Structure 1
Amino acid sequence: MPITGLDILIPVLVVLVLLLIFVGIKTVPQGSNFTVERFGRYTRTLSPGLNVIVPFIDRVGARLNMMEQVLDVPTQEVITRDNAIVAVDGVAFYQVLNAAQAAYQVSGLENAILNLTMTNIRSVMGSMDLDELLSNRDAINERLLRVVDEAANPWGVKMTRVEIKDINPPENLVDSMARQMMAERNKRAQILEAEGLKQAQVLEAEGRKEAAFRDAEARERLAEAEARATQSVSEAIAQGGVQAINYFVAQKYTEALAKIGSANNNKVVLMPFEASSLIGSLGGIGAIAKEVFGEDAVPLVRRSPARPPVVTPDES
């Protein structure tokens, strides 16, 4: 059977259709976006999944990763505001939010972000002293993130994090910082010790003051009590109460005997007296009161001869 032109045309058309389908259908993987260009001009962005373009008219331009990506910032030297040279490295995280801007607003997106981050690290850290760099790393990261994100925003990129990994001063500078820290700690220790001594002296002085005040108050109250007792005895004597004289003198007499017995220069104290001796002394005092106040003042106790105590002095 002879082959006609229709027999050749049909397979050619089938192959052409299959070729057009193969060229026109584009599969975009998850986490990626493709840009479509028609005669070299951007027209639209293909999202993940199955997409169809016009064969031989449209073509895929840029294939962009839309997932968050990490960019390692190499080590570089930074001169601080106080002229200290430190080696700094870091890491940056970014995510493409607009595929068209990332593809057509900047050439070499990753290289642009890297150089932008390194430049801002030198700018931010160069405006700070060394002590600020070592103690305010969180503030540095926050400032870097804000500056770099603002600069990368026209590129359709969101900077999610910029972190400083290491800050390495020179060894001689580290030794100087260690000596400075040791001197500062010694200074603080001396200050704390001096403050503690001062506080102890203040508390001791306040204690002595409080004790002296309480002693004076006690003596004042004792004097007031003695004055009230003396006044009461005086009033009783003025009213003819010889009993008050007897009580007052007997109290002083017994107190004197107690002091004699507790003296340190006497080892043995002999006091051979009976109760009548003390009463006799009170009777003698009553006689004195009778002479003062007259015959009407009659004591309540009679006098009896008293024998004074015999005190043996210390033989040593």
Structure 2
Amino acid sequence: MEIGFGLVWGLVLVLVVITVFAGTKTVPQGQVWTVERFGAFTRLLNPGLNFVVPFVDRIGHRLNVQEQVLDIPEQSVITRDNATVAVDGVIYYRVLEAEKAAYQVANLPLALSTLAMTNIRAVIGGMDLDQALSSRERINTSLLVILDGATSPWGVKVSRVELRKIEPPSNLIQAMNLQMTAERERRATVMKADGEREAAIMRAEGAKRSLILAAEGRQEAAQRDATARERLAEAEAFATRAVAEAAAQGGEPALRYFIADRYVQAFGAIATAPNGRLLIVPMEAAGLAAGITQALELLRGAPPRPAAPGSVPQVGPVPPAATP
């Protein structure tokens, strides 16, 4: 009896230990478990130590409530202008309501991936190729709004959608490269033509300015020459009037002095002219010397001496007393 009684107590103890272990659940951080009683959902187990009714309650789903990353498989998408591009991406999502995520959708990752692929085809299919390649951010935003709204009944929050690749086929890439090269060459040609046009305009402006300055210089020189000629004419007129007045008052000697002075000046100009080594004197040296001597004697007030044959007429200055 004692042996049987001990065996029973041993079995009871073992059963109690098994029951305690069966009713104790330790949920790790970042997860939420669902509890089912006879197949029906009853409650959630949060991270930490939890207790359930042994042999009656069981763990239904173990859900990760951390933010997770889901790859979107690569697929071919046809754009609005019938260009084929290869597209893939990633989805960042988080389970907010574990009960809905566990029982409102079966295989949540597959459902998210399929939903994302379908909407990628819809969004990119409504764009031209150039728009799809240049509007990556707009595509991401559109997919985020669509997926977040579609997964809200599942208790899932989609926080980000990123397309990693939008790649046309190789032959289309080569055509795009050729188009880009042609466009850059066109821009270079246009810029070169604009530069040459600007340079031609600047050269024309410089030539115009140079001609204007040259014309202004010639005009100014002509004005100065006209002024000099006018002053010279005034001086000649004044000298002529003075000689005329002197001749009227002093008579023939003053006129002869004037003629002799002009003759000496003309001869000096001929002598200093750069016409080579040969100097032709149109008169005898003795006559010239005699004319100069008579002019000096007239300046000193002495009576003129008879002129030598072949010399200039004897002239002299107007006497000082005859000058007004």
What TM-score comes out, normalization by structure 2 length? 0.69
Aligned residue in 2 for 1:125: 124
Q: Helix, strand or coil: the match of 1:67?
A: coil
CA pair 151-224 structure 1, distance change in 2 beyond 3 A: farther
Q: Indicate the larger mover: 11-20 or 119-128.
A: 11-20
What are the within-5 Å matches in structure 2 for residues 88-167 of structure 1?
A: 88-167=87-166
Aligned residue in 2 for 1:311: 274
Is 2:46 the partner of 1:50?
no
Is 2:210 the partner of 1:211?
yes
Q: Helix, strand or coil: the match of 2:82?
A: coil
CA pair 311-156 structure 1, distance change in 2 beyond 3 A: same
Q: How many residues align?
A: 262
Q: Helix, strand or coil: the match of 2:274?
A: strand
Query: In the aligned structure 2, how far is the partner of 1:163 from the partner of 1:56?
Result: 46
In structure 2, give the amino acid aligned to 1:206. Answer: E
CA pair 229-44 structure 1, distance change in 2 beyond 3 A: farther
Query: In the aligned structure 2, how far is the partner of 1:24 from the partner of 1:209?
Result: 104
In structure 2, give the amino acid aligned to 1:181. Answer: M
Aligned residue in 2 for 1:288: 240
Query: In the aligned structure 2, how far is the partner of 1:314 from the partner of 1:202?
Result: 54
Query: In the aligned structure 1, how far is the partner of 2:48 from the partner of 2:229?
Result: 116
In structure 1, give the amino acid aligned to 2:141. Answer: E
Query: In the aligned structure 2, how far is the partner of 1:145 from the partner of 1:48?
Result: 30
The root-mean-square deviation of aligned C-alpha atoms, in Å, is: 3.3
Is 2:193 the partner of 1:194?
yes
In structure 1, give the amino acid aligned to 2:240. Answer: I
Residues 188-234 of structure 1 deviation map (CA, whole Å, 9 limit, x = unaligned): 22211211111112222222333334444445555666677778x49
Aligned residue in 2 for 1:251: none
Query: In the aligned structure 2, how far is the partner of 1:314 from the partner of 1:139?
Result: 98
In structure 1, give the amino acid aligned to 2:76. Answer: E
Aligned residue in 2 for 1:75: 74
Aligned residue in 1 for 2:65: 66
Q: Indicate the larger mover: 41-50 or 20-29.
A: 41-50
Could you say which structure has the larger radius of gyration?
2
Structure 1 residues not aligned, in runs of 5+: 238-244, 247-284, 297-301
Query: In the aligned structure 2, how far is the partner of 1:215 from the partner of 1:157?
Result: 86
What TM-score comes out, normalization by structure 1 length? 0.70
Query: In the aligned structure 1, how far is the partner of 2:71 from the partner of 2:222?
Result: 90
Query: In the aligned structure 2, how far is the partner of 1:131 from the partner of 1:314?
Result: 90
Query: In the aligned structure 2, how far is the partner of 1:20 from the partner of 1:228?
Result: 134
Aligned residue in 1 for 2:84: 85
Query: In the aligned structure 2, how far is the partner of 1:176 from the partner of 1:224?
Result: 71
Query: In the aligned structure 1, how far is the partner of 2:146 from the partner of 2:277?
Result: 100
Percent identical among aligned pairs is 47
Shift of 1:98: 2.2
Query: In the aligned structure 1, how far is the partner of 2:161 from the partner of 2:107?
Result: 20
CA pair 290-135 structure 1, distance change in 2 beyond 3 A: same
Query: In the aligned structure 2, how far is the partner of 1:133 from the partner of 1:173?
Result: 14
Query: In the aligned structure 2, how far is the partner of 1:71 from the partner of 1:192?
Result: 49
Query: In the aligned structure 1, how far is the partner of 2:10 from the partner of 2:144?
Result: 60
Q: Helix, strand or coil: the match of 1:311?
A: coil
Aligned residue in 2 for 1:29: 28
